[in-house]
Structure 1
Amino acid sequence: MRAPVLNLLLIAGLTGASVLGTSVLGAGVLGASLAQAQTAAPAPQTAAVSPDAIKQREQELEAARARQKSAEEAQAKLKAEITSLGQDRTQLNQQLIDTAANVRAVETKIDEAEARLRALNGREQQMRSSLDSRRADIVEVLAALQRAGRRTPPALLVRPEDALQSLRTAMLLGAVVPELRGRAEKIASELGELVSLRKNIAGERDQLATDRDKVRSDQTRLTALVDERQRQQSSREKDLDAENSRAIALSRQVGDLQGLIAKMEQDLQSAAKAAEKAAEAARQAEAKAAANAAANVKPGPGAFKDRSRTTPAIAFASAKGLLPLPVNGNKIRDFGGSDGVGGVQKGISLASKPGAQVTTPCDGWVVYAGPFRSYGQLLILNAGGGYHVLIAGMERISVNIGQFVLTGEPVATMGSTSQVASILATNASQPVLYVEFRKDGTPIDPGPWWAINEGEKVRG
């Protein structure tokens, strides 16, 4: 009896079909018959649209109109909210930094969810392969259960849940011999795990969709806030466009980063003012740091809570262990390592997601913002005390020269590929952010400045 049943099951479409629920007994034969019937039937010359199809299209159109209306209402609400901020720099800074932090937090959640999904999908594939390789065993067990229970087994297999229920029911029958019971229990365990995996995957996908919707909403809000910040900045700097054009022209006259910094702070009015402010702020911060040291007061994240500040909260040298990385991503090159083109890495390189938000790692004045040689879009901050922070590889920069920015403030957006020439050859498939710290013109290891864990990061 076993051999005929096995042959029947195998011929009926088990070969090449997934045990996970895409095949049933006779699926191959039924599919072939349907294909033949479709081939033989003449194609109609005109396709009449059914009333149900018309109704469905009307519903889809109505849903699209509702979404558009909702988006317009959200935009209007956001515009009114930003207008209400007026010229209040503190509130605008608060909104910018908080929204940027939300965007980066959701970006992290999305990365984690995608990693979990990859692991779950890998486990599901393993379960598929395991069950696939044991088709004959499953057929034999179900055939034996048919004889033991004297009833027709379920179609193999419409869904994992069907086979699982059948096996659990059969195990309750006293007629199942111990060996068959053990094999049935093992198969039932694998099918049960598969059902659980599918539920977990569905849940992760739902959460991922929710997070992606949220990050899109937050990015829309952030774009509007950045536009308002730059509008206010432009109203203060009447000759902003001319300054930016002059900065680009000056950048073409120098060959290295140190020369660029010196040229900007010497020849460009807004950058020179920023450098003067940075020097004065550094003197004040160093005096305050000395006083705190005498009183044995160590700076912490709380020092950065004042969102109305127009100078660095603390001296850059005192900010070690407090600064956040400017983008979510993985470090692919560290300070002092190979730069990929035969030289030594003078900063760090972080591989990020396309379109990732870039925030400032520290307080400082923008002394350059624009393209520069092989660095793509380059942002240089004067952090005071002879320290400069260079950030390169972004697709778009959203701050202007002379502008003071706070730690955690959004300043740029990553593109879809690497913009830095030294990284392009080996990491062309993903955007890479390059970060360099300099003290008195010399690159230094930024490692001591980065926050050790999430709780110690400055949020502005």
Structure 2
Amino acid sequence: MRAPLLNLLLITGVAGASLAQACISLAQAQTAAPQTAAVSPDAIRQREQELEAARARQKSAEEAQAKLKAEITSLGQDRTQLNQQLIDTAANVRSVETKIDETEARLRALNGREQAMRSSLDSRRADIVEVLAALQRAGRRTPPALLVRPEDALQSLRTAMLLGAVVPELRGRAEKIASELGELVALRKNIATERDQLASDRDKVRSDQTRLTALVDERQRQQAAREKDLNAENSRAIMLSKQVGDLQGLITKMEQDLQSAAKAAEKAAEAAKLAEAKAAATAKPGPGVFKDRSRTTPAIVFASAKGLLPLPVNGNKIRDFGGSDGVGGVQKGISLATKPGSQVTTPCDGWVVYSGPFRSYGQLLILNAGGGYHVLIAGMERISVNIGQFVLTGEPVATMGSTSQVASILATNASQPVLYVEFRKDGTPIDPGPWWAANEGEKVRG
């Protein structure tokens, strides 16, 4: 198996560890059985079931590993197919991340309602006890455990009312309690359904993230094969970054002094001229303009991409362009609060002119989008693209950490991952708002 796919061994390793542990547990149980009566047949059966489950997990992991390896091998050097797989898988990950957020929000609301309802019922415990006791006398049967099994209490109430076993005054009270208990039972079913959906979505996002990691590794392996001096270039970039004090100085220094960044800037300038000539003869572009995964230059002029670009990460906007930066200045970009480990994708086509740490920005990625435009993305824990590399809109380029990686002036909550995004035109920060797709703008309002 090739080195970029070694991370997939973790799946098999985890499953193998589970299988080994289950085998040990079963062996211990069977060895200890003749010596002590503490291990019951039920315990033995349970450990056998755990062993079978561990074997099934290991087999499933091995099959998934083999399938993914075969798929990536089949891609070969086909950059178009690899791009398609990368972008589609990254989109799936972000889509499931959104579903998980929505499900968690619904669960919080449902759990709150359940707690409020149980508190309400608990506050009228005496009334419920009185009604159930009356039912006991009418039916000569023991009342169900109160609020431990609301389904039982609800069934008793409904049965008694159907049989006319309660007097009108008691019937009214019983109907009210039955209504609340019925709502509580339905609420519990909804909560169980949402929890099942959440577990399913989490399993899916883990699977997609494993696939995405393997695809990113393969992309970078191919890139490294084409650019033999990548390590030296990256080291030189970090050294040059320490010689400048601001972002514009960093961009200038990279595009002047670093060979791969200079080539990227030159390609960006050439592509912008061609795209401008093409744009003059075509109608206003739509989202479909980004469908060609084989392109090696931006699909459209950056200035013409207004209203088309996706946000680079799922999150909530906590600071907007032009607002206060928290220290008496003005915010030059936007800040998005994200979840730990969130996938970061490129908001536009462009060439990487810087990738690495930079002062208080943490890990910083700078893209030259052509036409004098640069996009800066900061605050990630790990960047997975190299200087000089051309990336497509929606392509995975980084992952967030578990806490904020940027300076406190860029984030309101240092314990939460925060992504900072800044657009620049000829070195001057500009409002990125007009470039975001309409549905993306709706996502971050708030």
Structure 2 residue 72 is the aligned partner of structure 1 residue 82: yes
Q: 1:175 to 1:303 in 2, by over 3 A?
A: closer
Structure 2 residue 187 is the aligned partner of structure 1 residue 197: yes
For 1:428 and 1:225, locate their aligned partners in 2 and report how far apart those are by CA, in whole Å.
31
1:142-182 per-residue CA deviation (whole Å, 9 max, x = no partner) reads 22233444544334354101100111112124352322111
Structure 2 residue 18 is the aligned partner of structure 1 residue 28: no
1:95-146 per-residue CA deviation (whole Å, 9 max, x = no partner) reads 0000000000000000000000000000000111000100011011122233
Q: 1:102 to 1:187 in 2, by over 3 A?
A: same
Contact (CA 8 Å) 1:377, 1:393: kept in 2 or not? Answer: yes
1:10-44 per-residue CA deviation (whole Å, 9 max, x = no partner) reads 99999999xxxxxxx999999xx999999999xx9
Contact (CA 8 Å) 2:12, 2:61: kept in 1 or not? Answer: no
Shift of 1:303: 1.0
> Does the residue aligned with 2:438 lie in a helix, a strand or coil?
coil
Shift of 1:9: 59
Contact (CA 8 Å) 2:29, 2:39: kept in 1 or not? Answer: no
The corresponding residue for 2:254 is 264
> Does the residue aligned with 1:26 lie in a helix, a strand or coil?
helix
Shift of 1:444: 0.3
1:48-77 per-residue CA deviation (whole Å, 9 max, x = no partner) reads 433442343233133213312321221121
For 1:15 and 1:363, locate their aligned partners in 2 and report how far apart those are by CA, in whole Å.
39
Shift of 1:232: 0.6
> Does the residue aligned with 1:388 lie in a helix, a strand or coil?
strand
Shift of 1:300: 0.6
1:28-427 alignment to 2 at 5 Å? 48-288=38-278, 297-423=283-409, 426-427=412-413
Give the number of the structure whose alpha-carbon radius of gyration is greater: 1
Contact (CA 8 Å) 1:394, 1:413: kept in 2 or not? Answer: yes
Shift of 1:424: 7.3
Q: 1:419 to 1:357 in 2, by over 3 A?
A: same
Q: 1:458 to 1:265 in 2, by over 3 A?
A: farther
For 1:358 and 1:330, locate their aligned partners in 2 and report how far apart those are by CA, in whole Å.
14
> Does the residue aligned with 2:143 lie in a helix, a strand or coil?
coil
Q: 1:426 to 1:310 in 2, by over 3 A?
A: same
For 1:148 and 1:241, locate their aligned partners in 2 and report how far apart those are by CA, in whole Å.
85
> Does the residue aligned with 2:401 lie in a helix, a strand or coil?
coil
Which of 146-155 and 241-250 deviates more?
146-155
For 1:236 and 1:3, locate their aligned partners in 2 and report how far apart those are by CA, in whole Å.
17
For 2:8 and 2:203, locate their aligned partners in 1 and report how far apart those are by CA, in whole Å.
49
Contact (CA 8 Å) 1:321, 1:451: kept in 2 or not? Answer: yes
Shift of 1:79: 1.0
Shift of 1:224: 0.5
Contact (CA 8 Å) 2:332, 2:422: kept in 1 or not? Answer: yes
Contact (CA 8 Å) 1:368, 1:401: kept in 2 or not? Answer: yes
Contact (CA 8 Å) 2:380, 2:419: kept in 1 or not? Answer: yes
Q: 1:15 to 1:216 in 2, by over 3 A?
A: closer
Percent identity reads 93
For 2:326 and 2:363, locate their aligned partners in 1 and report how far apart those are by CA, in whole Å.
20
Q: 1:170 to 1:26 in 2, by over 3 A?
A: farther
Tell me the matched-pair count: 445
Superposed CA RMSD: 12.9
For 2:15 and 2:374, locate their aligned partners in 1 and report how far apart those are by CA, in whole Å.
66
Q: 1:125 to 1:275 in 2, by over 3 A?
A: same
Structure 1, unmatched stretches of 5+, are: 18-24
Q: 1:221 to 1:12 in 2, by over 3 A?
A: closer
Contact (CA 8 Å) 1:322, 1:458: kept in 2 or not? Answer: no
Which of 430-439 and 134-143 deviates more?
134-143
Q: 1:268 to 1:457 in 2, by over 3 A?
A: farther
For 1:361 and 1:147, locate their aligned partners in 2 and report how far apart those are by CA, in whole Å.
70
TM-score where L is the length of structure 1: 0.86
For 1:391 and 1:426, locate their aligned partners in 2 and report how far apart those are by CA, in whole Å.
17
Contact (CA 8 Å) 2:26, 2:51: kept in 1 or not? Answer: no
> Does the residue aligned with 2:415 lie in a helix, a strand or coil?
coil
Contact (CA 8 Å) 2:131, 2:174: kept in 1 or not? Answer: yes
Contact (CA 8 Å) 1:9, 1:139: kept in 2 or not? Answer: no
Which of 87-96 and 450-459 deviates more?
450-459
> Does the residue aligned with 1:392 lie in a helix, a strand or coil?
strand
1:406-425 per-residue CA deviation (whole Å, 9 max, x = no partner) reads 00000000000000112577
1:352-374 per-residue CA deviation (whole Å, 9 max, x = no partner) reads 11000000000000000000000
Q: 1:196 to 1:246 in 2, by over 3 A?
A: same
Contact (CA 8 Å) 1:113, 1:208: kept in 2 or not? Answer: yes
Q: 1:157 to 1:3 in 2, by over 3 A?
A: farther
Contact (CA 8 Å) 1:437, 1:446: kept in 2 or not? Answer: yes
For 2:354 and 2:74, locate their aligned partners in 1 and report how far apart those are by CA, in whole Å.
31
Q: 1:39 to 1:122 in 2, by over 3 A?
A: farther
For 2:2 and 2:274, locate their aligned partners in 1 and report how far apart those are by CA, in whole Å.
90
TM-score where L is the length of structure 2: 0.88
Q: 1:168 to 1:393 in 2, by over 3 A?
A: same
Shift of 1:8: 62
Structure 2, unmatched stretches of 5+, are: none
Which of 295-304 and 419-428 deviates more?
419-428
For 2:268 and 2:409, locate their aligned partners in 1 and report how far apart those are by CA, in whole Å.
32
Shift of 1:219: 0.4
Q: 1:52 to 1:174 in 2, by over 3 A?
A: closer
Contact (CA 8 Å) 2:264, 2:353: kept in 1 or not? Answer: yes
Contact (CA 8 Å) 1:285, 1:315: kept in 2 or not? Answer: yes
Contact (CA 8 Å) 1:124, 1:197: kept in 2 or not? Answer: yes
For 1:388 and 1:10, locate their aligned partners in 2 and report how far apart those are by CA, in whole Å.
38
Q: 1:29 to 1:168 in 2, by over 3 A?
A: farther
Contact (CA 8 Å) 1:366, 1:402: kept in 2 or not? Answer: yes
For 2:126 and 2:164, locate their aligned partners in 1 and report how far apart those are by CA, in whole Å.
24
Q: 1:161 to 1:270 in 2, by over 3 A?
A: same
